[in-house]
Amino acid sequence: MKTYLEERIEWYDDNYRNGNALISDKQFDQLEKNLLRTNPNCDYFKKKNKLVLPSLEKDSIDEFLKGLLVDTRLLIEPKIDGCAVALQYRDGTLEKAISRKGVDITSKLIKVQDIPNNLPLRGVLQVRGELYAPNQSPNISQRIASGFLRAKEGFSERLSFCAFQILNSTLNQYESKKNLSKLGFTIPQDISCNFTSQVEVFRKQWLEGKLFSKYPTDGIVVKINSRKLQLIREKSNLDYPYWQVAIKR
């Protein structure tokens, strides 16, 4: 049976995800700490700490931008061709890593140099990123990364990991990546757009090989920076996080 505190936190959380924040982040964090102290095994934390890797939608940029104000801040990042993975740290220790299909790959990823096994933090941190082979073409990079995850024994190819997002965060995309960098993760280059009309300009630059050439890319990813707008789109598109979209050739 849920306690009053758990029900209250869920109510505040639902309102926040609908774009209606009723209390400050600091107040909400304090309520969570109180619940964690009194009932750490409640359903709220089981749901919140479940590690899931959402798919990245591929759509036309016009469809994605529909409904956004022209001055919505966007971030453009490389769509690195490799294998998407999610990491979960508990009290600073790498606890679990999963592939896109939900397969546990923890024993594999602790061997990747770019992935820290320990972090200076408390609580649960969930990170989304891409495992890839540097200095390779996109299709070769993906093939090497997937081969590493399937291999039962030693693997000679060097692999890199790029962290794109904190999955269980209330931060906007820019701040989320800045925090990942402070924790020691490699984060991707990005381009900040202050107007939605700039996206097509940078897409053409990528097609011409002038953008993100250091990565094995097969497209670009356009992301809404505001966490509030992200949550509104997540709520209206439950099947995928439609605050970010991959654009290919």
**Is 145 in contact with 83 (CB distance < 8 Å)?**
yes
End-to-end CA separation in angstroms for the chain: 52
Q: Which residues pair with 192 in a beta bridge?
A: 75
Helices 4-17 and 227-236 cross at an angle (nearest 10°) of 100
Query: Nearest CA to 183 among 100, 105, 235, 126?
Result: 126
Q: Which residue has the tokens 């200095």?
A: 135
As a whole number of angstroms, the distance between CA 245 and CA 166 comes to 17
Per-residue pLDDT of the chain (249 residues; tens, 9 = 90+): 789 898 898 888 777 666 577 888 778 878 887 887 788 778 777 676 567 677 777 777 888 888 788 999 999 999 999 999 999 999 999 999 998 878 899 999 998 989 999 999 988 899 999 999 999 999 999 999 999 988 877 666 789 999 999 998 889 999 999 999 999 999 999 999 999 999 999 999 999 999 999 999 999 999 999 998 888 877 765 444 578 999 887
- Domains, the chain, in order of start with CATH, read 4-48 (no CATH), 61-247 (3.30.470.30)
As a whole number of angstroms, the distance between CA 23 and CA 151 comes to 48
For 156, other C-beta atoms within 10 Å of its C-beta total 6
Q: Which residue has the tokens 């759509």?
A: 59
Q: Model-level pTM? A: 0.78
Backbone angles phi, psi at 222, to 5 degrees: -105, 130
As a whole number of angstroms, the distance between CA 125 and CA 49 comes to 9
Backbone angles phi, psi at 57, to 5 degrees: -70, 145
